[in-house]
Structure 1
Amino acid sequence: MLEQLQQLVHLTGFGGLEWRMIVMWGVVLILLWLAVYKGFEPLLLIPIAFGALLANLPTENLIEKPAGPVRSPATGSIVASMVQPGEVVTIERVPHERPDHLIRLKPDEIEALFQAESARYQAGEGALLFVIRPETPTPTDDSNPAATSTPVRVPFAGGQIEVTRDDFLVWSPSSGRVVDAPAPLGTTVIEGQTLTELSSHHTGGFFHWISLGVVLEIFPPIIFLGVGALTDFGPLIANPRMLLLGAAAQLGVFVTFLGAIALGFTAKQAASIGIIGGADGPTSIFLSNALAPELMAPIAVAAYSYMALVPVIQPPIMRALTNEAERKIRMKSLRKVSRLEKLIFALAVTVLCILLVPPVAPLIAMLMLGNFLRECGVTERLTKAAQNEIINIITIFLGTSVGITMQGDRFLRLETMMIIVLGVIAFGFSTAGGVLMAKLMNVFSKNKINPLIGSAGVSAVPMAARVSHTEGLKADPHNYLLMHAMGPNVAGVIGTALAAGYFLALLGGH
């Protein structure tokens, strides 16, 4: 009777619940509360929160990868192989993030890892397939670098295998049957080489395929298409010096980049964290997917959360850096910008930005295509589709795809908390950079700029511009800054994209 009850529980999802999942349910409720009751970026936070809920349930046919080739993560030799032709590999219903490189673990953690995986193999749920020893030792900050290449014996499947902290682990990406003879022990393989192949009748979970829009960098450029179709660059064209405010508001990106490196993040991770300061969710996803996909979930949540909290974060910084007289500055009315000027601007920005920073071509190209559709006056149907149906559909899929990566064991870490803190620091410095640049420009300019619009140099369109306008009205109820603030606001969209392109060019992609 007890055995039958255990089998029944195993068939349900209750047996797969963990404390980290339940904690993440609390995070989901917080995100939903911010979105539904506080109105903070509900179009993104609700899909993200719902995706996070699904990520922390013992689901089936939702996020599983399809069976297929298993490839080597590094160039080196095979020092351990755990599978045989015809053997069935069954991964857990609730997938956990597993280390792909033992250098991240301490010796006692390595032993615990292999003990746990040995127990899973005996239960028919083993996922470790190969151990690869790289031909080139990995640089380390350890006081004794030789320790990384010292072999240690660890228990596995009733015996022992020999590993070093330099070794890479190859995990099964899905359940399936081994249909190809695994590469034998001692074989030298190169990065990306097929080690074996799995076959299964299952074609992969629904969100595995949807999430390819993020992995293949499809969703963020399409979001930029909609942003371009919704954006009027007229205020920026009428007052080109606003580009300087958009550039200055990238200060937080680079300050946080250096700060994250000082805290121990890699350069690629630091760049992905720093871009949060641009307050641009799609660009944050685009860059983190290319440079640090393992951090994409906390980076995306931080980026969109701080975008939503613009009205809370920015005003205290704006008031602290300006006096009442500066907040009352009235700016001259903007001239009317012709349609021809706007069309030439879209084309010129496309050419110039892509020539300057080629890696950012997908974002800039789609942003300016959307804007050209808006301004040309002969593609009304396409413009409306980009402004509504297309951007709305992609927003749902993008949000849930980000949320589905928020698994408890991946999200509930110290580094996640550090990213959240670094994100708000980045956003604060970006806000301050724009305000201080406006004050500096006033020293050399006869046509004074209200420094409040400098804070709109971040990429949160049009919320940051509205905050600048609202703060201006508090100082002078008849001072209308909205259109002036839109200049640095749309300049910030371009500036953040260029900053992301710079990091891609500097650090490389995948």
Structure 2
Amino acid sequence: MDNLLSLWHSTGLYNITGGQALMMLVGFLLLFLAIKKGFEPLLLLPIGFGAILSNIPVAGIADEGGLLYYLYFGIKTGLFPLLIFMGVGAMTDFGPLLANPKTLLLGAAAQFGIFASLLGALALNIVPGLEFTLKDAAAIAIIGGADGPTAIYVASRLSPELLGAIAVAAYSYMALVPLIQPPIMRALTTEAERRIEMQQLRTVGRSEKIVFPLLLIGLTALLLPSAAPLVGMFALGNLMNACGVVDRLSQTAQNELINIVTIFLGLSVGSKLSAEAFLQMETLGILALGAAAFAIGTAAGVLMAKLMNKFSKTLVNPLIGAAGVSAVPMAARVANKLGLESNPHNFLLMHAMGPNVAGVIGSAVAAGILLSLVQ
């Protein structure tokens, strides 16, 4: 009888708490969105499964000595974000941005969400139970750029204790781009604006594509060294792709390396969805700020495109302004999808990649500015 009682006390049914059950349901919801709805499954599937694993009672998978505990070192040290940036750089084509340089303004405008969330985080200190320092607020602010790797990197430098909540918020909102952005884009544009067809982009030469990442890292080294780790890895990945002489390295960065790191990073982020780590006032405040900042960044990009149309003879479809947030290439796909809904001949994907790539650079620059001012 004692053996049976001991066995019962070791089961998950006996030890599970309400918080663990709730967070496991959240994990299953993320899996549903990834598998059934197709919401960025490369992110949501490992994050959701990591959430389930970390909330299994008694197993201790996310506790010290567990698998997810050790994987989390890749986030804590900033290694995973930098490797992801190299892979993203290798997959990025700067052609659309170089062919239409004014889209750089759209990427810059969308970073307004970062600085809005910085002020918002400080304002939340009036809420009982919340107390964010300036470093905390700066780390939280990067969520507004919808750039998971940058958010993790900055948080690991400025506010390690909030890193888990920030990582969860950043990657959750990146994955939910197809759900969050369209209502904002439709609300801020007219049907006629969504139908605007843009001129075909000029062909960008190989030399331009090689020079650009070198120029980018050169300017970063001279003007904003604190952003050099992020921009440097991004530029390295892009140069490997653009130069055409290290195809094996470029393909590895684009495929095997980034896929492996994505699995580890997703599981690590999911490990911070454990009930004891997640169900706190600070985490809920960060999630609310992230949603608001992401909405502000999306709106700022769209409104900047509308403003540009007031002064330019060549019209820009305002939908591509929403791609200024650095969720690559999810935001560009959303802009393209909404454009096609209004006009079946309106292919905006390549046009939207210009501000999308600019957003990656913009979020890295904003991160460098915050690190320089706050660290």
Structure 1 length-normalised TM: 0.68
- Is 1:243–2:104 an aligned residue pair? yes
Per the TM alignment, residue 305 of structure 1 is displaced from its structure 2 partner at its CA by 2.2
Aligned counterpart, 2:46: 47
Amino acid at match of 1:229: A
Larger radius of gyration: 1
Q: Deviations over 1:236-279 (max 9, x none)?
A: 01111111110000111111110111011322222222222211
CA spacing shift, 1:415–1:64, aligned 2, 3 Å:
closer
CA spacing shift, 1:62–1:319, aligned 2, 3 Å:
closer
Aligned counterpart, 1:28: 27
Work out which of the residue numbers 211, 236, 245 in structure 2 matches 1:378: 245
Aligned identity (percent) is 59
Aligned counterpart, 2:185: 318
Per the TM alignment, residue 405 of structure 1 is displaced from its structure 2 partner at its CA by 2.4
Aligned counterpart, 2:129: none
**Aligned pairs, how many?**
369
Amino acid at match of 1:338: G
Instruction: Kindly indicate whether the alpha-carbon contact (under 8 Å) linking 1:40 and 1:305 is maintained by their aligned counterparts in 2.
Output: no
Report 1 or 2 for greater relative contact order, CA contacts < 8 Å, sequence distance ≥ 6.
2
Work out which of the residue numbers 133, 154, 157 in structure 2 matches 1:287: 154
Aligned counterpart, 1:490: 357
Amino acid at match of 1:38: K
- Is 1:223–2:84 an aligned residue pair? yes
CA spacing shift, 1:236–1:356, aligned 2, 3 Å:
same
Matches of 2:159 and 2:239, distance apart in 1? 32
Matches of 1:429 and 1:374, distance apart in 2? 33
CA spacing shift, 1:289–1:477, aligned 2, 3 Å:
same
Per the TM alignment, residue 6 of structure 1 is displaced from its structure 2 partner at its CA by 5.9
- Is 1:332–2:180 an aligned residue pair? no
Work out which of the residue numbers 327, 330, 340 in structure 2 matches 1:473: 340
What do you get for the CA RMSD once the two structures are aligned?
2.0
CA spacing shift, 1:255–1:344, aligned 2, 3 Å:
same
Secondary structure in 2 aligned to 1:437?
A: helix
Per the TM alignment, residue 234 of structure 1 is displaced from its structure 2 partner at its CA by 0.4
Segment of structure 1 superposing worse, 363-372 or 472-481: 472-481
CA spacing shift, 1:473–1:406, aligned 2, 3 Å:
closer
1:106-505 alignment, distance < 5 Å: 204-264=65-125, 265-505=132-372
Instruction: Kindly indicate whether the alpha-carbon contact (under 8 Å) linking 2:320 and 2:351 is maintained by their aligned counterparts in 1.
Output: yes
Instruction: Kindly indicate whether the alpha-carbon contact (under 8 Å) linking 1:354 and 1:364 is maintained by their aligned counterparts in 2.
Output: no
CA spacing shift, 1:324–1:63, aligned 2, 3 Å:
closer
Structure 2 gaps of 5+ residues are 126-131
Matches of 1:414 and 1:384, distance apart in 2? 43
Instruction: Kindly indicate whether the alpha-carbon contact (under 8 Å) linking 2:84 and 2:149 is maintained by their aligned counterparts in 1.
Output: yes
Per the TM alignment, residue 235 of structure 1 is displaced from its structure 2 partner at its CA by 0.5
Segment of structure 1 superposing worse, 301-310 or 496-505: 301-310
Q: Deviations over 1:163-183 (max 9, x none)?
A: xxxxxxxxxxxxxxxxxxxxx
Q: Deviations over 1:339-371 (max 9, x none)?
A: 110000010011112333222222111111111
Q: Deviations over 1:362-409 (max 9, x none)?
A: 211111111111111111111111111000000111111122222212
Matches of 2:179 and 2:238, distance apart in 1? 30
Of Structure 1 and Structure 2, the greater strand share is in 1
Instruction: Kindly indicate whether the alpha-carbon contact (under 8 Å) linking 1:41 and 1:305 is maintained by their aligned counterparts in 2.
Output: no
Amino acid at match of 2:226: P
Per the TM alignment, residue 425 of structure 1 is displaced from its structure 2 partner at its CA by 0.9
Per the TM alignment, residue 495 of structure 1 is displaced from its structure 2 partner at its CA by 0.6
Structure 2 length-normalised TM: 0.92
Secondary structure in 2 aligned to 1:241?
A: helix
Secondary structure in 1 aligned to 2:101?
A: coil
Amino acid at match of 2:225: P
Secondary structure in 2 aligned to 1:468?
A: helix
Amino acid at match of 1:20: G
Instruction: Kindly indicate whether the alpha-carbon contact (under 8 Å) linking 1:452 and 1:471 is maintained by their aligned counterparts in 2.
Output: yes
Per the TM alignment, residue 59 of structure 1 is displaced from its structure 2 partner at its CA by 4.7
Structure 1 gaps of 5+ residues are 66-203
